[in-house]
Structure formats: C-alpha cells, structure tokens
Amino acid sequence: MAVMTFCLIAKIALNASFPYDVSKTCTDLISQSFAKTFDLPVSITRSANIYGPGDLNLSRIIPGTIVSVLRNEPPIIRSDGTPVREFVHVDDVARGYMTLAEKIESSAGKAYNFGSNEPVQMLDLVNRIIKAGGKKATLEPVIMLKDKIEREIDAQYLSADRMNVEMDWRAEIDLDAGLASTIEWYRANLSKLT
C-alpha cells in the first residue's frame, strides 16, 4: 500500500479525488472566479482541523477524546493511531479571518492557509489529552482499527507560509496550551453535554 501525504500549499494546484475534497476544491475555484470576474473582495481560506472550547461535535477527535477522558472512559481512536494531522486553535483562525478582512485589498482572489505547523500523530494527540486531563495512569486509548485504512490519508497538514509572509500572521496558540484551555472549558461544561 502506498503512503499518501496531503499537504496544502497555496501555490500548488488542488488535486482532489474524494467527494468532500472535490467540493472544497470547487468552492475555492468558484470563489477565485467571482473575485476575478466580478472584482469582488473575496479571499479563500483553508485551515487545518480547528479545535477549541465550545465544539459540540463529539465525533471529532479532540472534543470526543476530552469528554471521554473527563468521564474517565477510555478514548477511542478510529484508526490504527498512526495518521498525522494538524490542528489549529479557533482563536488563531478567527484572528486569521480578521487579518484577511482588514487587508482585503491585497488578499482578494488569493488562497490562504491557517495552520499551526505542528503535525501530530493521532495516538500522540490522544495521549497528550489524557495527560493534560490528569488521567495518564488510569486511561488507555482504544484502537478501533489495527490496520491502516487503505484510503486513509497517512499525513494531512498544510503550509501557512503565504499567511506568514504576506499577512504577518502565525498561529500563536501551541497545541499543548490550546488543549489545556479547551479541556478546562469542557470540564466546566461537562454536565451540560450529552
């Protein structure tokens, strides 16, 4: 089986194959065409996996793992644990949107990536959440799949170089600090979650 790596760099042509990826590519192209054809102030944004307080989609790896850990339940990894992903805190993404809006004259029609430049393996991510949740000695993640999924992208992350260079934007919240503050939000609101 070939190892697949997916790295979004704004200067490389989009090469989507699966329906979800293709839909995002179509949106990018339509946005670019409207910016060019109608001279609309449209910037294209792409982000790594966004996380932070208030995410109620517990099927996502970070909120689901945090809630499991806080409930003293073993978190579930729906892979063999080896895929690599990148995560970016919601506050950094919001700051990125504001930066592009404030500089729309120079950002219109261009694609910008918001990322943390901190790719992490899923098993490592879950173990970091367990440790940050104070449960290191008592919880062990459940690996749902012992083998890699054939169509699973092995490594998926992006380059925020254009945002760094052109907009002087960088993710400011590193993964460990972001996980700590996110865990505190879930701890405070755990009784309200189903």
pLDDT at 25 over 70: yes
- 120-177 pLDDT, tens digit each: 999 999 999 999 998 776 788 888 876 666 666 788 889 999 999 999 999 999 999 9
84: which strand partners?
Answer: 121, 155
* Structural domain of 53: 5-192
Torsion angle (degrees, nearest 10) of CA 131, 136, 142, 143: 60
* CA proximity to 92, closest of 164, 184, 15: 164
Q: What is the mean pLDDT of residues 51-61?
A: 96
CA pair distance 3, 16, nearest whole angstrom: 16
What CATH number corresponds to the domain at position 111? 3.40.50.720
Residue 20 is a catalytic residue: yes
For the chain, the domain total comes to 1
Look at residue 10 in the predicted model and tell me its pLDDT: 41
pLDDT tens per residue across span 61-119:
999 999 999 999 999 998 889 999 999 999 999 999 999 999 999 999 999 999 999 99
Which entry of 20, 51, 112, 157 is annotated as an active-site residue?
20
Mean pLDDT of 12-35: 84
pLDDT of residue 170: 97
Question: 15-28: b or e for each residue (b if 16 or more CB lie within 10 Å)?
Answer: eeeeeeeeeeeeeb
Q: How far apart are CA 13 and CA 82, in angstroms?
A: 27
Give me the pLDDT at residue 151, please: 64
